[in-house]
Amino acid sequence: MQVPVPGSFKTSDGCVIGYSLRPAPGPNAPRVALIHSLALDRSFWNGVAAELNGHAGLLTYDCRGHGQSGREPATYTPALFAQDLAELLDHVGWPDATIAGCSMGGCVAQAFAALYPQRAKAICLIDTTAWYGAEAPRQWRERAATARAKGMSALIDFQVTRWFGDAFRAAHPEVSDALIKVFLADDVRCYQATCEMLGDADLRPLLALLKMPAAVVVGEEDYATPVSMAETLHKAIPHSTLTVLRAARHLTPVERPKDIAKLILGLAPKRREHSR
């Protein structure tokens, strides 16, 4: 089993990015980079990482404005977050990787794959979309305004019911509690900047450029990025598959880590003997 090694580095614009790296278990093992969802951190992937451990090199990290990474509020864009990942890959010496992202992380994965196509060996887009719709700029700014006026705690009930179904929350209260703790530690200014990024994002023009193997995954009960959004992604991305996980909601990597890990491993190509 590979033990995660924590680290940090500074991006070209001076933002500190905190990460954890699990070395590949062998020269032919795939490399997988995992991008978390809004207002959470790299611990989001703990369940999936446990399933992938020993099968792949794993890179998890806190996106800027989140977790242990720099919290300088600014104008965030999917392209900026994608650049952060490219520079992080440079830092850890990975020329390429399979990229998996959930929700916000899925938006970043789309941007990364379009901007750095040679570095994305495959992509797994989980509970995500390329465009939240015409009303998204207003809706996301309203959510940010609630956090700004009342604090992050005012959004907890809204969030947890989107994250998981009633049965999962009742059976695993410790899982919800752990994510709530991360959510409440978020910086409100950075949360606002990220909400504005997601509300304004329209990645649809990039989807036809994604020629690498791609898996689109969504929870059957996801109403944050519903099945219809996943179907739209699947239709627009040339070499994609679509998987709908029954009785799952918005954060399927947490709710169904075995299923997500299996899909990622199915995408991730083994490396040649001479690869780094």
Domains and CATH numbers, the chain: 5-133+202-267 (3.40.50.1820)
Residue 255 has pLDDT above 60, yes or no: yes
Mean pLDDT of 39-51: 98
Question: What confidence tens digit (pLDDT) does each residue in 134-163 have?
Answer: 999 999 999 999 999 999 999 999 999 999
274: confidence class by pLDDT, cuts 50, 70, 90? very low
Residue 276 has pLDDT above 50, yes or no: no
Residues 6+ apart with CB under 8 A from 267: 98, 122, 123, 124, 213, 214, 215
Percentage of the chain beyond pLDDT 90 is 92
The pLDDT value recorded for residue 60 is 98
pTM: 0.96
The pLDDT value recorded for residue 120 is 98
271: confidence class by pLDDT, cuts 50, 70, 90? low
Q: What's the chain's average pLDDT?
A: 95
Flag the least confident range among 22-31, 49-58, 113-122, 207-216.
Answer: 22-31
The pLDDT value recorded for residue 27 is 85
Which spans in the chain are helix H? 46-52, 78-92, 104-115, 136-150, 156-163, 166-171, 173-184, 188-200, 227-236, 252-255, 257-267
Distance between CA 209 and CA 229 in Å, rounded?
18
Residue 269 has pLDDT above 80, yes or no: no
- In this structure, are residues 209 and 238 in contact, taking their beta carbons and an 8 Å threshold? no
- In this structure, are residues 249 and 175 in contact, taking their beta carbons and an 8 Å threshold? no
Percentage of the chain beyond pLDDT 70 is 97
Residue 1 has pLDDT above 90, yes or no: no
Question: What confidence tens digit (pLDDT) does each residue in 52-88 have?
Answer: 999 999 999 999 999 999 998 789 999 999 999 999 9
